[in-house]
Chain A
Amino acid sequence: MLNIKEVFETTNMIEHENLDVRTVTMGISLLDCSAATVEETCARIEAKIRRHAGNLAATADSISAEFGIPIVNKRISITPISLVGASCCRTPDDYVTICKTLDRVAKDLGANFLGGYSAIVSKGITESDRLLIESIPEALAVTDNICASVNVGSTKTGINMDAVSLMGRIIKKTAHRTGDRECIGCAKLVVLCNAPDDNPFMAGAFLGVTQGDAVINVGVSGPGVVKAALDKCHGQSFQVLCDTIKKTAFKITRVGQMVAQEAAARLGVQFGIIDLSLAPTPAVGDSVAEIIEAMGIERCGAPGTTAALALLNDQVKKGGVMASSYVGGLSGAFIPVSEDAGMIEAVECGALTIEKLEAMTCVCSVGLDMIAIPGTTSAATISGIIADEAAIGMINQKTTAVRILPVEGKDVGESIELGGLLGTAPIMKVNGFSCEEFITRTGSIPAPIHSFKN
């Protein structure tokens, strides 16, 4: 029988330490929705999403009420839309039409984000991929709940540098197109390397072609719970530190596992994976930076930060895999600057730079995330930043990503207010030396030697 200490430990995590299930994301395959016309494709897409996800929000809400655990987001991920629209889209505007349909359906169903306005171009770009990518600035400007992603490389294929170069320009255009709204379009656009097929988190969520017709993937959270546990370990050995993180991660993940199984059963779809990521929010006490600081680093970004993050990430995984047999997605600690109160403070006081963040992305998921930079930054420099991150992902066989906002009219020392979970982004300094010649070369960086494992 449960004892009172255990019961209050759980309720305390929920009440005071921001424990929640960050997202229940339903993946829906749209491969069977391709038609000869844009109108027919849109109609099929709408019908299929409604058929599967019609009860998603209500089901998540009732699970939340019964078990007393907040489920923050109800989301949908879909087949990369460049595959679905290839049969009918002849202009970027055709893709924008599909995007508007997706936005309307997502809003109707209570999904705060729908991910999968995506193209997978790690080896080459099809005509359909190109149209989709060119439509992104307009598509993200005229919709609210749609997230776009482009996978530009992988360990198996190398890095498509033509796509990297193109995405630098697309990010600039997206920032310009939504310049009157703090460049919000760029917060919904991520460039990935080694993108997973089953990621429940935005903006990089899509349902890969390896997946079934419909699947439930769940992202747990709980930086606040880990921080609270570590606050009791000051002065203790690394063993105590590791054990504490593992035990906490286990408990958090078990809650996610329960919610995922319950949601899959009630919605009559397959349970996919639990994503173990520690996902911060702008709320104080729900920060990955604060965890690093609780380990004994004065400010996130100081020497020792990368080691602390590596330890954290590894122990979260070790605790998490014991709690769920099906772990996937990104699974690690997220370090989105604008969405993490401790990261914002670390940037503002000069402890955390883009270069340090890049080093941190070598040991955690997922990449340079939610970083605002001066609007004067060139497209080639943004492509250089993307190429660096993609190289880290390709060589280390891990997912990396760049979600960066070149904010027009703003410079270092200023900040932008994105609101809600997206938070506040201080403008960060970017290295001013050029990589123009490197980026304007055509072709791709070949797959690394360790990709030939056959």
Chain B
Amino acid sequence: MEKTVITVVGKDAVGILYKCSEFLYQHNVNIKDIAQTVLDGFFNMMMIVDVAGIDQSFESFAKDMKEMGSQMGVDIRCQKEEIFDMMHRI
């Protein structure tokens, strides 16, 4: 398992989760956990996904995901889980 954290931040709109899930499905990325909140009209979502079976390089996957986000008006970041684990777990 190669866990990656995807964060989505931006103005709330119809279909953000749908589009993200569709994109992940197309690239064979399995969703392990999702949490989301809407604060003051801003959509905050975190997904923990497994990229072990991904069909392209991680760098181009992250770039494409970011590009898809900007088309929807949201900021999407894909980061390997270790950076969060290192920072928040001893």
Q: Which residues of A contact B (CB under 8 A)?
A: 1-4, 6-11, 62, 65-69, 251, 254-255, 257-258
**Within residues 40 to 73 of chain B, which ones have a CB less than 8 A from any CB in chain A?**
44, 46, 48, 58-59, 62
CB distance from A376 to the nearest CB of B (A): 50
Report Cα–Cα, A255/B80, bound state, in Å.
12
- CB-CB under 8 A from B14, the residues of chain A are none
CB distance from B46 to the nearest CB of A (A): 5
CB distance from A252 to the nearest CB of B (A): 8
Are A11 and B86 touching (Cβ within 8 A)? no
Quick one: given A2-B5, A2-B48, A2-B81, are A66 and B87 in contact (CB under 8 Å)?
no
Chain A at the B interface: SS class: helix
B7 CB within 8 Å of chain A: yes
Are A65 and B59 touching (Cβ within 8 A)? yes
* Max chain B C-beta neighbours (<10 A), residue from A3, A68, A251, A258: A68
CB distance from B51 to the nearest CB of A (A): 10
Quick one: given A3-B35, A66-B79, A68-B83, are A10 and B44 in contact (CB under 8 Å)?
no
- CB-CB under 8 A from A3, the residues of chain B are 35
Are B87 and A11 touching (Cβ within 8 A)? no
A-B contacts, 27 of them at CB < 8 A, read A1-B33, A2-B46, A2-B81, A2-B85, A2-B88, A3-B35, A4-B37, A6-B88, A7-B46, A8-B7, A10-B84, A10-B88, A11-B7, A65-B59, A66-B58, A66-B79, A67-B79, A68-B77, A68-B79, A68-B80, A251-B87, A251-B88, A255-B86, A255-B87, A257-B86, A258-B82, A258-B86
Kindly identify which residue among B33, B48, B80 contacts A67, using a CB–CB cutoff of 8 Å: B80
* Max chain B C-beta neighbours (<10 A), residue from A2, A7, A69: A7
**Within residues 1 to 57 of chain B, which ones have a CB less than 8 A from any CB in chain A?**
5, 7, 9, 33, 35-37, 44, 46, 48
CB distance from B19 to the nearest CB of A (A): 20
- CB-CB under 8 A from B44, the residues of chain A are 4, 8
B78 CB within 8 Å of chain A: yes
- CB-CB under 8 A from A6, the residues of chain B are 84, 87-88
Closest to B63 in A: A65
Closest to A262 in B: B82
Q: Which 9 A-B pairs have the closest CB atoms?
A: A68-B79, A4-B35, A254-B86, A6-B88, A67-B83, A258-B86, A4-B46, A251-B87, A7-B46
Report Cα–Cα, A254/B77, bound state, in Å.
20
CB distance from A248 to the nearest CB of B (A): 10
Closest to B62 in A: A65
- CB-CB under 8 A from A257, the residues of chain B are 86
CB distance from A6 to the nearest CB of B (A): 4
Are B7 and A7 touching (Cβ within 8 A)? yes
- CB-CB under 8 A from A1, the residues of chain B are 33, 48
Report Cα–Cα, A378/B35, bound state, in Å.
64
* Max chain B C-beta neighbours (<10 A), residue from A62, A69, A258: A258
* Max chain A C-beta neighbours (<10 A), residue from B33, B58, B79, B81: B79
Known: A7-B46, A68-B77. 7 other contacts (CB 8 A): A6-B87, A8-B44, A11-B79, A66-B79, A69-B79, A251-B87, A255-B87
Closest to B75 in A: A15
